[in-house]
Amino acid sequence: MSYIAANILETIGLTPLIKLSRYTENVEGNIFAKLEYFAPGLSKKDRMALEIIESAEEKGLLKKKQPVIELTSGSMGTGLAIVCNLKGYPFIAVMSRGNSIERAQMMKAFGAEVVLVDQHPDSEPGKVTSKDLDLVEEKTQKLTKKYNAFRIDQFTNPSSVETGEKRLGPEIIEQLGDIKIDAFVDFIGTGGTFIGVSKSLQKAFPHIKCYGVEPVNAPFYSSIQKTDGKHIIQGGGYNIPLKFIEENKELINGFITVSDCEVTEATRLLALKECIFAGDSSGANAAAALKLLKGDLKGKNVLIHIPDSGTKYLSTNLWDILDK
Ligand SMILES: Cc1ncc(COP(=O)(O)O)c(C=O)c1O
């Protein structure tokens, strides 16, 4: 039987789930990875962007051809650029110049208007902090008024959590078949994926432990010494209180911190050992999962997801691996 998708939106979802056998060769236990970079915008946020726009359409919140706007590190923006393009909404992405340029290029290629906001004088390129995020938020609010645009607001929009709870989580559980998962670890940006997927997994595996992942330099929820908040992981680790985390603390068993070095090493190992070409937050998840298997969860099954593709980081130091 043939099946031809009517457009790229129909290809969002149903990503592969794989066992990282070679990445875990020196430890006891398993890591299962859901490859969310198998999406048209190369990130997990395509799923969320589709859910958010369709939910707004169903609720009558979004008018025909109304401009849509969002503050983004580039992942949600790329998902929205695709969804809005195909559904006929003009889309404005507001992003910090601290994020990698590939993200802006992709959004523009998909027809978005891309507004880049200069970083705070205290910040460094490639390391987006809460001060940078504040500047992007300020600009987004101004443009929302100017264009009378529909603001997505991924940090508070319930669809951020619902996508994990009703779509990504159930898809993973179905793919797992008889395999039971003991822990889920997830790097947090808005915390939407972490909380949504945790909600879904806790129904299927009542004893599962769910851990948020934070940069060691931006450990907002981890009980360790606070630092300047600068780190390389794009899309999260903003060192700020998060609505979804605050409202769902009972679901969370703790937080794991990862350093820039651990993240880079893990991301490169994913490529070398598993041929998974991913971004820094994927390395953060993989590094945190390995810490669990080396510690209290020796011999257990840990689930992670791979949020985006390494091709969005070619301009960063992540792939500075050629002999000079
Ligand atoms: C590459 C990447 N990884 C992880 C995250 C964090 O995801 P969430 O906002 O669901 O916590 C984001 C968020 O934009 C992201 O872009």
pLDDT for the residue 110: 98
Set 34, 44, 45, 230: catalytic member: 45
Is the CATH code 3.40.50.1100 the one for domain 8-44+161-319?
yes
DSSP per residue over 99-151, as a string?
Answer: S-HHHHHHHHHTT-EEEEEPPPTT-BTTB--HHHHHHHHHHHHHHHHHHT-EE
Q: How far is the CA of 189 from the centre of ligand 1 (A)?
A: 5
- Residue-wise pLDDT for 157-202, tens only, equals 999 999 999 999 999 999 999 999 999 999 999 999 999 999 999 9
Q: How far is the CA of 75 from the centre of ligand 1 (A)?
A: 7
Q: How far is the CA of 1 from the centre of ligand 1 (A)?
A: 36
pLDDT for the residue 51: 96
Residue to probe by mutation, ligand 1, list 37, 47, 188, 280, most atoms within 8 Å of CB: 188
- Residue-wise pLDDT for 231-290, tens only, equals 999 999 999 999 999 999 999 999 999 999 999 999 999 999 999 999 999 999 999 999
Tell whether the model's pLDDT for residue 226 goes beyond 80: no
pLDDT for the residue 324: 83
Cβ–ligand 1 distance for 190 under 6 Å, the answer yes
Instruction: Supply 229's token pair.
Output: 């908040």
pLDDT for the residue 313: 97
Indicate the fold that domain 45-151 takes in CATH. Rossmann fold (3.40.50)
**Shortest-distance Cα residue to atom 16 of ligand 1:** 235
Domain residue spans in the chain?
8-44+161-319, 45-151
What are the start-end ranges of the H helices in the chain?
45-58, 75-87, 101-109, 130-147, 158-163, 169-176, 192-204, 243-246, 260-274, 280-294
pLDDT for the residue 258: 98
**Shortest-distance Cα residue to atom 6 of ligand 1:** 189
Average pLDDT value for residue range 211-228: 90
Q: Do domains 8-44+161-319 and 45-151 have the same CATH topology?
A: yes
- Residue-wise pLDDT for 40-98, tens only, equals 999 999 999 999 999 999 999 999 999 999 999 999 999 999 999 999 999 999 999 99
- Residue-wise pLDDT for 112-150, tens only, equals 999 999 999 999 999 999 999 999 999 999 999 999 999
pLDDT for the residue 126: 92
pLDDT for the residue 72: 97
Q: How far is the CA of 126 from the centre of ligand 1 (A)?
A: 15
